[in-house]
Structure 1
């Protein structure tokens, strides 16, 4: 039945003069075409809309026309890249036109109604919050490990230019997304239950650990952090933050009254996070140890580690980590 319904949403496959049809256009181009009978409940014949089929039509149209807005950002030279507005289907506007067609007679042709959507971050806001650096942290790795270096770059690019608004919680997993080969992540060395293995996304935990230290140095509230079960060399002891798509996340909250801007940059064999805000922010930085500038031993192999571990679960309360209960096993 579903295949029959989808087949009814004819995309440029039928002439616009089909008897009793609804033809939906965007800028004059046909994007869908369907007949009354295909959207009517079987009993009483033709007198009621089948709302399940109608929702399938709405979903189909949204996939065709919806475009998410794009936030303003900064390029590598610090110049502002202007925001772009998006668009989405006006469900109320379409419903009104659809009802007139469905309960009327004969074929109807309508231009799909759209509404403009706006980004959360525009150029004016970005210019306001890129002024003062409130936190920064740098860690180092072997750039010759191509898979690991590539994964670090992908994750850094996903976070770069992200803005966290007051009281908003940043989630590493939510912002970076699932690390898969379809997204370009490569296989590299990982740690599973304290032992080295191979897995997709090696190096990701160096990104999350570097961001954790930058956020902590900026005085942000660390909501959730997991520490590796095996010592990692790219940050000082106890300064790591492991992440896993099906397990631990790294999260922090912006407790300041100004938005913050995260900049991420990979420089050869280093990854750096800088956190900015406006010049009126009243922030309380924390003093934390620097990472060693020596290349960590564990990143010198042909493949490198990604964090998939048995982990200790940590919260941060008033800037002081405390361990809860026993080790918790997670797998990516």
Structure 2
């Protein structure tokens, strides 16, 4: 490869990683991170009635300098590159194909719609529908990751973090990324196809900076605090929305909190499935929870199993092989 080609590749790679912070469709977009930091600062000032210690509260060394956080950063870079260069195109095909087939099926069976939907109300309706369906897809994929043993081995990578910070949201195994992307395409593809037919190909959702407006509002409302040390409950709204505190309970190592709160933005799916645990039922109202994160007690074998980036990638495959061997042996026995 020529020096110019190397330079182009490095520049493309750098842009791909930086795009996570400069593109509004990604949760680590700078405005969402800044919004989360401002909300966290407000939480500190209200609780302490002082700005003393604010910087330490926002960026504690015991969180950001932990090996776990450094692994999160490395996984963030590697997964971003993997997704951009290898996974984005094939995963996009799922949703695009289903959208196209749904549109064509409706057109052939019902013909072109006489009065296509249009206008602000239709755009807002489509935006709400896409937001709700995408959230349901996330819930179903997340639930599958926890309930199907082989998928859980890959999802463990995310839950192996003993400390949480915003980049932890991308502490994911590539297999988990593929499963989430496939389910998203499966649930959203038909919706886009239906919208295409109903709107005569012209209906578009309400957007902000080219992104579903409801998604932007949700990401601005402290989404990045879900993976953080900042305990923030939405109070009575915790039964409708997933607050940072609600998701932190999902990461708790306490067995009493396991298999709870699978939602992304909406808590209604967990309520329907009986898996919702609101913060006020787990801790005293108004008191920050002293949660321990990870897969078990500190010093146990799981910390060794997930202590490096390469083990985070490779250990799940080994565990799957072990599980498969156990199942095969049990079947023969």
Normalised to the residue count of structure 2, the TM-score between the two structures is 0.20
Higher helix content, 1 or 2: 2
State the structure with bigger RCO (CA 8 A, min sep 6), 1 or 2: 2
Higher strand content, 1 or 2: 1
